Structure 1
Amino acid sequence: MDTLQGDWKVSTRRACAVLRIDRSLYVYTSKRGTQAELTQWIKEICETRLRYGYRHVHVLLKRDGWAVNPKRVYRLYKELGMQLRNKVPKRRVKAKVREDRRPATHNNDTWAMDFVHDQLATGRKIRILTVIDTFSPFSPATDPRFSYRGEDVVQTLERICGQMGYPRSIRVDQGTEFVSRDLDLWAYQKGVVLDFSRPGKPTDNSFIESFNGKFRTECLNTHWFMSLDDARTKMEVWRKDYNPASQHPSVYVAVSNKVSCSSVCPAS
């Protein structure tokens, strides 16, 4: 149209008549907001109202003057990954409730933890809390006890966080120790997000599942544990042997360079 008007010096009405285009179609300007603006508005609503589905979001958009179809809101709502997960109890303040996971980008960004079951040579059952950093993957703890409660998990986490720092989030399953009030209160005080797996979906926490498989094959299935202290000692030996080989290349290179420099360059 612009080329025709520029080359032939004709009016818009004449150009539309030649091309058989309705003039109102050519001069029409959309009054609808851009997709980016609407998407950002939906995201802001969902971040402040965590339990709102797309229908409630649509109601708020209409109140704010958006003349938008609910099907369009639903499509953008799904594209943003804002679908609600299974409802979590009110008490779990630090639970993540939306599907917005992203890969870990640095150490202490995301941890994962779970329990492994075994027994002593006497037949007494033990439970081992295993923890890994999903970025490295470095294991800060394999802690065996006869029984675990929520406060025991907090005690173990405080010990290892005192050495490594606090993670941004921790991926856990729906076990009673992980949904306890003690762990939720600790996470709230320390600014840690508890990222719960969906029931019956072990792949939501695949990092710790993979680690536990190695742990069972290389440690639990190759040792007899005479006592709890004996189990703790043997598991700690395995963990220290596992960690250097499992560290992220950047971490391993930094440690190697530090060791090389200290061996070559005497202290001043």
Structure 2
Amino acid sequence: MRKSKFTEKQKLSILAEHDSGLSVADLCRKHQISPATFYKWKRSKEQEVDDKERLIKELEAQNTRLKKMYADLSMNYEILEEGYVMGKKALNPKRQERVIDELSKKYSVRRICVVLGFRRQTYYKRKSGHRPEVVDDQIAKLLHEVTKEYLAWGFWKVFHYIRNQGVIFNHKKVYRIWKREKLNLRQRPKRQRIRRKFEPISLPKEVNKGWSMDFLSDWVMSSDKKSVRIINIMDETSRRALWTEAHQSISAKKLTDVLDKVLDYRGKPDYIRCDNGPEFISKKLAAWAQKHDIELKFIQPGKPTQNAFIERLNKTLRTECLNLSWFHSLEELNEEIQNWFQHYNFNRPHQSLGNISPYDFERTMLDV
């Protein structure tokens, strides 16, 4: 496109001459331009003026919107700042009402609720006399009265009790107040169970290679009916009872003393199988086993079948001895147990041993 020989300044000067009263024909003759060129310049100038006017109007409208937006944001910021100073975290309706009452002197309730996130419906209901905290205090007082009289009752027992008395409230509302007043019964935390790996029972091929031990509980019918504990130790291969004795209590120290006595006349095994009782998992027994180079094999918690040999011995002792008599002293109980175990080791046939006694089975193993 060929460039015009007139500059923008010259074009504006020519258009100004026309505005001063010079005709188009004289103007075109004077500057040697065609009428079409003149009208083209004039139309271009008018369009520029229109564009500038439209831009000015848009800027003015945008400026008005920004001023209004700034005013709204400033007002919202003031509401937030004043509301936070007065109410901190106004979470409950009572504190929200106090904040709205104070700010409504300067701002509208609608704006306050929108900015602070409050519900206008809740505010107006409270103004009309609906105040739930009064009812909550009445329920809390009633709950305290019932729990003071019935200390062992939990929430549902108390809830149904007050409902049967004619106090009808939603259980969620009552439970919220119950938790707020910290009326829950204290529950004893569950003790974490010890985790053990499963080990299948492998029967040793030789006598005195593996032992099993466990406790058995019974009663002595004295004047105060005392409970006693019986310690049983057996050889897993021959099923021979190595030690049985009743005590009122058996500590880890007493248990290691018993094991020392068994070691003196029986010799050292490779391992001892037991459950996870407090005496068996004690540090004292672990130190004793490490000192004598004996492995302690613990069964999995809650799996008594993994210690089946000693459990079967406990059942036999209970059904054939303990359940058949009343014992009036600890000495009488121990005497009866010792007599029975002499019979068990030397005379009683054992089905898993080929219907011979444990003593005869050990003699056979030694001969072989």
Is the shorter-chain TM-score for this pair beyond 0.5, marking a shared fold? yes
Where 2:307 maps in the other structure, the secondary structure is helix
Find the partner of 2:304 among 172, 178, 202: 202
1:169 matched to 2:263? The reply is: no
> How high is the TM-score relative to the length of structure 1?
0.57
Structure 1 residue aligned with 2:259: 157
Contact 2:207–2:365, Cα closer than 8 Å, also in 1: no
- Which of structures 1 and 2 has the bigger CA Rg? 2
Tell me the residue number matched to 2:325.
223
1:247 is matched with 358
The gaps in structure 2 that reach 5 residues or longer are 1-193, 349-356
**Is 1:112 aligned to 2:173, yes or no?**
no
Percent identity, aligned pairs only, is 32
- Which residue is 2:294 aligned to? 192
The letter for the 1-side match of 2:320 is E
Residue 99 of structure 1 deviates from its aligned partner by 3.1
Distance 2:199 2:237 in 1: 19
User: Residues 179-227 of structure 1: CA distance to partner in whole angstroms, max 9, x if unpaired?
Assistant: 0111111100111111001011111100011110000011111122221
3-state SS of paired residue (1:195): strand
3-state DSSP of counterpart to 1:200: coil
SS of alignment partner, residue 203 of structure 2: coil
Shift of 1:167: 1.3
Aligned CA distance change for structure 1 residues 118 and 233 (closer, same or farther; 3 Å): same
2:216–2:314: 8 Å Cα contact kept in structure 1?
A: yes
Q: Which has the higher contact order (CA 8 A, sep 6+)?
A: 1
Q: Deviations over 1:237-267 (max 9, x none)?
A: 1111100233165424479x9xxxxxxxxxx
Distance 1:194 1:130 in 2: 16
Q: Structure 1 252/224 Cα, relative in aligned 2: closer, same or farther at 3 Å?
A: farther
Gaps of 5+ in 1: 1-85, 89-96, 258-268
- Give the length in aligned residue pairs: 163
TM-score, length basis structure 2: 0.42
* Per-residue deviation, residues 119-151 of structure 1 (Å, max 9, x unmatched): 111210000001110100100111100001111
Q: 1:233 to 1:174 in 2, by over 3 A?
A: same
Measured in 2, the distance between the counterparts of 1:98 and 1:203 equals 12
User: Which amino acid in 1 is paired with 2:326?
Assistant: W
* Cα distance in 2 between the residues matched to 1:187 and 1:138: 21
1:23-82 Cα distance to aligned partner (Å, 9 max, x none) = xxxxxxxxxxxxxxxxxxxxxxxxxxxxxxxxxxxxxxxxxxxxxxxxxxxxxxxxxxxx
In 2 relative to 1, CA 102–183 (structure 1 residues): closer, same or farther, beyond 3 Å? same
Which residue number in structure 2 is paired with residue 180 of structure 1?
Answer: 282
Structure with the largest fraction of helix: 2
Aligned pair in 2 of structure 1 residues 98, 203: CA closer, same or farther (>3 Å)? closer
Q: 1:221 to 1:87 in 2, by over 3 A?
A: closer
Matched with 1:125 is: 227
CA distance in 2, matches of 1:193, 1:210: 22
